[in-house]
Structure formats: C-alpha cells, structure tokens
Amino acid sequence: MGRDHGDVQLLIEMSHTFANEERYLLQPTKTVALNMKHSKRISAAVQNINFKPGEQNLNSADSSIHLGITRTTSVCETAEVNIEGNISNARRALYSLFEAGLHGHNGLDHKSMLDIYKCFVLPVLTYGIEIFIPKSTLINQHELFQRKTIKQLLSLPNKIADLCVFILTKLLPIKAIYHLKILNFFNNICGQSETSTERQILLRQLSVKSGNSASWINCVRPLPAKYELGEADEYLEKPLNKSQWRSKIHKNCSQLLETIYWQNILHLYLPKIHEH
C-alpha cells in the first residue's frame, strides 16, 4: 500500500523477487491493483497508472477477494459488499442444513437447532466483520436476518415481538458479537511480538489517529472503557496470554455484553408492551 507510484512499484518488485527466489508464481487472476478512492483528485490521478511485476503489466480491478473477504476501492463499499455476501452465504448454509433437520416444522428439537445455528450459520454470518467498519444500517441488516431466521426455526410468527427471540434463545445481538470479535482481534495483535508489523501499526494508530478519524482503531478505543475493561493502551503495555484473556475478557465480557444489551432490549420493548 502506498500513495506514491515509485513506492508501490518497489513493493511489487520486492514481492516478485521473493516469489522467484522461493520458486512460486504470482497468479495473475488474484494479483491485481486496487486504486483506493481516498479523494476524487487522487483517484483521477492514479487511474491510468500501470504497475509491473516483472515484465507483465499488473491488472487493475475494482474488487478482489483474499481469504474470503472482498476488498474494493472504497471502504464503505467494502463493508456493504461483505455484509451482503455474508448474509447470502449464511442463507446457503441454512439451506444446506435442511436435510439435517434444521427447519421449524417436523425438524429437530429447538435446542439442537439453536446449537447447529450457532456452530454452522452464525460464524458464516459474522465472518470478517471485525476487519472492516460496517455502519449501523449494515449491522441492522445482520440483526434482521438473525431474528427472522430464529423465528422460522422456532416456528414463531413474524409478528411476534423481537424480545421473545432473545428471551427464548439467549442469543447476543449482532452488535454485541461485533464488539466481542473486535476485542478478540485486538488482543491477538497485542499478544504478538514487539517486532511484528501488525503490533507496530496498532501502536502507531493509537498514538497518531484522532477521534475524528475513520481508522479501525477508533472502533477499538472506546470498547474497553465501555465494558469496564480499562484502557486500550494497557493491553499493549502488558499483553495477556490466551488463558488470561479467556478468563478475564472473554467470559466476563460476554456476561457484561449480555447484561448491557438485555437492559437495552428491555428498555426498548417494555414501554411498547405496556402500551398494548
């Protein structure tokens, strides 16, 4: 990644040289250039620039898939494409599990269906959401898909209050899962060695980026304080190992997330119930 053509070309040549030394080929269909749209002026300037890994020109593309996550030329578009893709893949996972009894009428018992949903569908639905920065409207699309799916599995009518879904299943809302995945990813980076690139980038982002920036670190910064876990800088200075993280953060944070969101749900739906 870079803003200057010479710097980017140098990085590409380094990758090409390393591939030749290790005797493997860079696939032309997967090795493409994405011109990120930081601004209209910069986008117009880089549209006609070509990069060369060796003697061949590097193809320019509007999107590229790496490790199941689609990257586009816009941050907002990247989130939208991946959210829509996750919902589509989760729906396919549901259809593939019909033969196993994952359906509301004459299917498995409710507990078994919820366990299958948590193991096989929910990870697909939330895959990679801690990497990009989805807006609240995109999170609501995830939430709507989950509520509708659970109602169908439990043979509940669509008109029933959403509060019943949370009471019967004790599932965390998608936003809570999103926060938990961000915290887990943040701790994984903190636990790396001080010479690792990811940790150095994280440390720099915490030091440089302001609260008004659209950087990913601004999604991480308020979460430890929000869930009474201290400050984000503390985990960089004294990183926790996996067992400490699992006991102090994962378990306690899940309980705290459940308490906070249950309070929000009750505060949201109880007035409506009293009105009826």
One domain, residues 212 and 127: no
Query: How many Å apart are CA 218 and CA 208, to the nearest integer?
Result: 11
Query: How many Å apart are CA 139 and CA 253, to the nearest integer?
Result: 20
- Does residue 27 form part of some domain? yes
One domain, residues 147 and 233: no
User: Which residue, of 159, 188, 206, is where some domain finishes?
Assistant: 159
- Does residue 273 form part of some domain? yes
Is the distance from CB of 1 to CB of 51 less than 8 angstroms? no
- Does residue 145 form part of some domain? yes
One domain, residues 218 and 274: yes
- Does residue 79 form part of some domain? yes
**Domain extent for 15:** 5-61
- Does residue 69 form part of some domain? no
H-assigned helices in the chain: 5-22, 40-46, 75-96, 110-116, 122-125, 136-153, 162-169, 174-190, 197-208, 217-220, 222-226, 232-237, 242-245, 251-275
One domain, residues 97 and 137: yes
User: Which residue, of 14, 39, 61, is where some domain finishes?
Assistant: 61
Per-residue pLDDT of the chain (276 residues; tens, 9 = 90+): 556 666 677 777 777 777 777 777 777 677 777 777 665 444 444 455 676 666 677 777 777 777 788 887 777 888 888 888 899 999 999 888 888 777 766 778 888 888 889 899 999 998 988 888 788 888 889 889 998 888 888 888 888 877 778 778 878 888 888 888 888 888 888 888 888 888 888 888 877 777 677 778 888 888 877 777 777 777 777 777 777 777 776 666 666 666 666 666 666 555 554 454
- Does residue 67 form part of some domain? no
One domain, residues 142 and 204: no
Instruction: Please tell me the pTM assigned to this model.
Output: 0.75
- Does residue 166 form part of some domain? no
One domain, residues 28 and 79: no
One domain, residues 189 and 259: yes
User: Which residue, of 159, 183, 206, is where some domain finishes?
Assistant: 159
- Does residue 100 form part of some domain? yes
Q: How far apart are the first and last CA of the chain?
A: 56
Query: How many Å apart are CA 216 and CA 181, to the nearest integer?
Result: 13
| pLDDT at 262 (0 to 100) | 62
How many domains does the structure of the chain reveal? 3
| pLDDT at 274 (0 to 100) | 47
One domain, residues 176 and 264: yes
